Amino acid sequence: MFDAQTIKSFKSQKTPFYYYDLGLLRRTLDEIKNHGLSKGYHVHFAIKANFNLPILEEVRKAGLGIDCVSGNEIKRAVEAGFTGDQLAFAGVGKTDEEIQVGLDHDIFSFNCESLQELEILNGLAQKSGKTANVSIRLNPNVEAKTHRYITTGLNENKFGITADRLPKLFDMLPGLKNISLTGIHFHIGSQITDLQPFTDLCNRVNEMQDLFEENGVRLDHINVGGGYGIDYEKVDENPIPDFKSFFEVFDRNLELREGQQVHFELGRSIVGQCGSLISKVLYIKEGATTNFAVVDAGMTELIRPALYQANHRVDVLTSDKPHKTYDVVGPICETSDTFQKGIQLPEIERGDLVAIRSAGAYGEVMSSAYNLRDRVKAVYSK
């Protein structure tokens, strides 16, 4: 967990705040370097998981690129020192202005999600006198075995184009003079801890490659997206996902052509374990059926429990008394503003600090101003 010195430093900070362990981030990135980059794989960090500059600095130093889903994310990546050739841009609803931002930075790849978007991109590229590099996002209809809100690769999901649209794509391609179709892109969902869906994905990628080649399209790169999950239970024992096994699935199952590059877009598995939301206990209230520990962080700072019933472990940092049962709840006027229900924690009192763990990905970035709350702050380890 946290050492005494770190907990002491927390006491002088205004709560709530996100604490990021940059040492753990560096160790995680080392694993990606050892098991992924060293084999020639390209890894883009999904900046949507966390867009803070000190995090991006570590990611850049490790040699990763960035996966963006908005014009502002492209701008943030550039601000963090990434160059256009390190950026991919996905998203079902890119505006003309956002596409223009991508064109202005000559990005590595527009991951296009519909045939209409291809036409719009072609027109804008023509106006700018450019050729846009495109990966077409395909919906592989693969079951990711994760929460239904974060499953993206099924036919019923809005992402990518389905296989039945491909003949139309092949017809259109010769007319799209300002587009260079360089790759295919997939992303099947998030928080996937079972490796089988990634094997299924590889099989679909192989079939798709054959289909593209039959239609005269040679692909320079395959982007298999992100989605690798973290262990929200074994936060301290097992903080870094097993990247060796993850990348081996692709070594074993992808049928690559000569010179072809493979790209990944990992978000959560890089940064999730590195962040905790540190919060102070405001009140202890004995309810009719449980004790409520009301803390000063809420769903406005971390919406994942309310939105996906996500289980973020709560650790008490400043008490080692015998355990009692608590519901740990936030101050927001919603019943779903609950971090944990009926858990055993050391007895706590007003002023104690708690850490809500594994909150580095899709935590701070999804925070809101509901109830006119202050924007949550970030604190970093060395």
Smallest distance from ligand LLP to CB 4, Å: 31
| One-character DSSP codes across 43-94 | EEEEGGG---HHHHHHHHHTT-EEEESSHHHHHHHHHTT--GGGEEE--TT-
Other beta carbons within 10 Å of 299: 25
Per the CB < 8 A criterion, the answer to whether 367 and 302 are in contact is yes
Smallest distance from ligand LLP to CB 281, Å: 25
Q: Is 112 in the site for ligand LLP (CB under 6 A)?
A: no
Q: Is 187 in the site for ligand LLP (CB under 6 A)?
A: yes
Q: Residues 128-167: x/- map of binding to ligand LLP (CB under 6 A)?
A: ----------------------x-----------------
Is 202 catalytic? The answer is no
Q: Is 190 in the site for ligand LLP (CB under 6 A)?
A: yes
Site for ligand LLP in 194-223 (CB under 6 A): none
Which CB, 150 or 235, lies closer to ligand LLP? 150
Taking CB under 6 A as the criterion, the residue among 67, 73, 117, 364 binding ligand LLP is 67
Distance between CA 111 and CA 266 in Å, rounded? 15
| The two structure tokens encoding residue 206 | 């192989």
- Say which residue the tokens 């006491």 belong to: 11
Taking CB under 6 A as the criterion, the residue among 21, 117, 265, 337 binding ligand LLP is 265
Residue 212 makes CB contacts below 8 A (sequence gap 6+) with 184, 218, 219
362 is in an annotated binding site: yes
Q: Is 232 in the site for ligand LLP (CB under 6 A)?
A: no
Q: Is 94 in the site for ligand LLP (CB under 6 A)?
A: no
Site for ligand LLP in 323-382 (CB under 6 A): 361-362
Residue 99 makes CB contacts below 8 A (sequence gap 6+) with 110, 120, 121, 124
- How many Å is the Cα radius of gyration of the chain? 22
Q: How far is CA 126 from CA 123, 130, 169, 299, 359, in A?
A: 5, 6, 19, 45, 43
- Annotated binding site for pyridoxal 5'-phosphate, which residues? 227, 265-268, 362
- Interface residues with ligand LLP (CB under 6 A)? 46, 49, 67, 90, 150, 187, 190-191, 225-228, 265-269, 304, 308, 361-362
Instruction: Give the residue numbers annotated as catalytic, written as ranges.
Output: 333
